[in-house]
Amino acid sequence: MSAATGDESVRRIGPYRVLRELGRGGMGVVYLAERDDGQYRQRVAVKLLRASPDADELQRRFLAERQILASLSHANVAQLLDGGVSDGQLPYLVIEHVDGLPITEYCDRHRLSIDSRLRLFQDVCAAVHHAHQKLVLHRDLKPGNVFVTPAGQVKLLDFGIAKLLDPTMEAQPVTRTAFRFMTPAYASPEQVRGDSPTTASDVYALGLLLYELLAGRPAQRIDTDAPQAVYAAVCEREPERPSAAATRDPAAATARDLTTEKLGRVLRGDLDAIVAMALRKEPGRRYGSAELLADDVGRYLDGLPVLAHRGSGFYRFEKLMRRHRAVAAVAVTGACLLVVGSAVALRQAAVAARERDRAAAALQQTRRALGESEAVTAFLASLFEASDPMEARSDTLTTADLLRRGLARADQLGDEPLAQARMFEALGRVYASLEDLPRADGLLRRALALRRAQLGAEHVQTAALEARLAGVLREKGEYAAADTLAREALRVRRLTLGDAHPDVAASLRQLGSLAVAFGDFAAGEDYKRRAIVVDRGRGADSALAHDLMELGSLLLWRGDFGGAERARREALAATRRAFPGPHTERIGAAFALADVLDERTATFAEAESLAREGLAESRAAFGDAHVATAGAMQALGNILARHGKVAESESLVRQALAMERRTLGPSNLGVASGMLDVGLTLTHDGYSTEAERLTRDAVAMFGATYGTNHAMYAGALGYLADVVAKRGALDSAEALLRRNIAIRERVPASQQAAIAVTDIKLAGVLTRQRRFAEADSLYRWAVAELRRTAAAETNINVRLAYAGMASLYAAWGKPDSAALFRRRAQPPGFTAPWQR
């Protein structure tokens, strides 16, 4: 029998040895397997497409699943590791094998409390929200697709019928789902009706999962696959309240370490209301996102009023009184003293009145938040509802369509300013992710103005928007404005959240990057080290690794190679703790360490070895056609090129560029960077017309995205100057480098180190033009500037300057000076690309 049948005779799929069958689904058979071809040994889950009369449809969905998984990178999502075609010409996927249990079984086996189950559920919501931010709908969320490892980590599995809404994947339009690919008991009403699913469909499925975690039984109990019965159960019948369902099942109460009566009391009220809001039949009346659902669960855990509750004002007042018992005591005391008419009673009454006003304000804020949530959900649903009857006939929506509708409908929310602010923020984030920075800037400014007017300057949500806008302004090169906003965000976050909150660490991280952009490396290092202190205190390995790698980059630039190496070695260790299995973050941390080792000539062999190991791990983990593998190829290729292994370097960077073009699309900036890498490698031994063409195209792409007054564009001009200098067009190279400097000088004090590096290149061009005095002046200024910022003779750019000065003095007829600077340039004979 064929491998697709799942027969026990299946022993091998590609390089993977099959150990046993794990299960069967709508599209294929899943096997536990092990790679044992000598390259990498790891247990994995191999999903093989099954033979079927619907082979074309199944294969299309199967290949789409690979693209979807490749777009996701999250600690709570099982990672795509590899893929290929079996000997029977059927495609297969290799996915991280999750050693764990379905979330409901895990919770029951460990007799987890309701609060512990809710915290696990919040992790599920975080994974789903991450997918939604990547424009991916899961569409088959159920306990069997949500596992928990023995360490208590949630892992989201099986994107087999997920829908990719990525704007770069135009071949995957938004179409109506087929009934046969869903799990009826966990389907949403719109899926059963055949309507186009949205994020609200996944929110509904999360509500079903939450119901089962709380009550111990499915909300939609369906005993047949007959379409009419499924339609009635899902689209027409309201589920029983979890609190009522749980009281009839003693086993469910025991698994939660409660009696049936107490379980009913715990679920009654807030948790019933949260589940009911997630399970509303109308998509527009559910939570607006998985994040909002998780937030409301968090409000329950914190004892705050939940937004889902439909109770009276007394409900919210009662919640306030429970949290602020001192306020309640003052109010009761004031009432009693008023009866006896004493002067003390009057003072206590005044206190009670003030507290009543505060309570009323808090209630009003809760109502505003509830109204905002409902407006948001209605807004999101409206994006998929066509106002034009002719438009409604189309089954396909493009990203441009959704954004156009979003902008138009957000403008109609003028009477709901907080909801409008959230919409402007969401749209601004989308435009920022699409690298349309001017539109992102404008929308975020509008959102910030609304939030300041409604919530005030010292509200945590206002600070969050300030930080987000600061990020966009930094990308635009508006460093001063970004710095002002980032400082205000940090002030408010400290005031409202305390010094140990992760948002405070995020602000410190942002200010550190801005300080580096301003050339204040000491302040940048201080900010980053303060963020690391917060990360360590929280035990946040992923954030710690990120901050350590950024610190390593700063120390590397300043010439502190020992400190940079220590930071990046610790970053690699933290990343491996955060992501125990193969992951892009692990591979990136390995290459970051290889990069710092590459800067130290004595450790080049270790750098190359580490980079080769990283590439091998990337290939084994993600396959040869993954963007992470392309990045690993480029990193290794750059290391090899810097040390003369040009032929292998060229092969690697060419493969990487071809892979990025296929994966990311021709206009992505990752492709532009790959083009620069190929161009630089091709010019290592001389001029190349192909290198100039690729580099000019990359320069145009950077200019189209960032504008021609941005530091990224200036950097690309520097690459082009290297290429045309190889052609002998020294006047053109000089003009490009001077333009590079002029762009960087427009931002005061922000680009001094980068200008120094560009001056080293320009001095090399002037040397070839025999303008020796000008070149000498530029070299000396650049070295002085680099010593001021980088502080160490071992900085690679200082060595480049010394190598250039040796060439200058040799051409100028000053052999003693040439010999002196040749000795200072380590290793001997080390020269810049434009001088070879």
Binding-site sequence positions for ATP: 47
Q: Is 550 helix (H, G, I), strand (E, B) or coil?
A: helix
Cα–Cα distance for residue pair 357/365, rounded to 1 Å:
12
> What is the crossing angle of helices 772-790 and 796-811, to 10°?
160
Residues across the chain: 836
By C-alpha distance, which of 836, 651, 813 is closest to 761? 836
159 and 65 in contact (C-beta within 8 Å)?
yes
Cβ-proximal residues to 209 (8 Å cutoff; 6+ apart), any chain = 103, 121, 124, 141, 142, 143, 146, 186
Answer whether 710's CB lies under 8 Å from 743's CB: yes
d(CA 679, CA 823): 30
The encoded tokens of residue 563 equal 């400190």
Q: Which has the closest alpha carbon to 214: 251, 147, 263, 150?
A: 263
> How many CB atoms neighbour CB 241 within 10 A?
20
Q: Could you give the 3-state DSSP secondary structure of residue 65?
A: helix
**Alpha-carbon torsion 782, 788, 789, 790, what sign?**
positive
* CA distance readout (Å), 330 to 333, 346, 356: 5, 12, 10
> Token digits for 506?
């995020």
Q: Are 28 and 54 in contact (CB under 8 A)?
A: no
Is 286 within 8 Å of 278 (Cβ atoms)? yes
Say whether the peptide bond before residue 827 is cis (omega within 30 degrees of 0).
yes
Closest to 199 in 3D by CA, of 119, 142, 130? 130
DSSP β-ladder status, 101-102 and 91-96 = unpaired
State the CB neighbour count (10 A cutoff) for residue 425.
Answer: 23
Residue ranges of the annotated binding site are 47
Burial of 63 (0-12, 13-18, 19+ CB in 10 A): middle
What is the C-alpha to C-alpha distance for residues 379 and 366, in angstroms, rounded to an integer?
20
Please enumerate, as own/partner, the contacts of 491-496 that have beta carbons within 8 Å and a separation of 24 or more: 492/457, 492/458, 492/459, 492/460, 492/462, 492/463, 492/466, 493/460, 493/463, 495/458, 496/458, 496/459, 496/460, 496/463
Cβ 59 vs Cβ 49: under 8 Å = yes
Task: Considering the candidates 140, 202, 296, 722, report the single residue annotated as catalytic.
Answer: 140
Residues 6+ apart with CB under 8 A from 82: 44, 93, 94, 620, 621, 622, 623
Radius of gyration of the chain (CA): 30
- Backbone phi, psi, residue 93, to 5°: -120, 145
How distant is the alpha carbon of residue 349 from its chain centre? 52
Each as own residue / partner, the long-range contacts of residues 506-509 (CB below 8 Å, 24 or more positions apart, any chain) are: 506/467, 506/531, 507/463, 507/467, 508/534, 509/546, 509/547, 509/550
Q: Is 178 helix (H, G, I), strand (E, B) or coil?
A: coil
Side-chain half-sphere exposure of 276, counting CA atoms within 13 A: 18
Q: Is residue 140 flagged as an active site residue?
A: yes
Q: What are phi and psi of 13, to 5 degrees?
A: -130, 110
Please identify which residue in the block is written with the tokens 């087929």.
178
Give exposure, 433-466, as e/b (b: 16+ Cβ within 10 Å): ebeebebbbebbbbbbebbbebbeeebebbbbbb
* Residues with a known catalytic role: 140
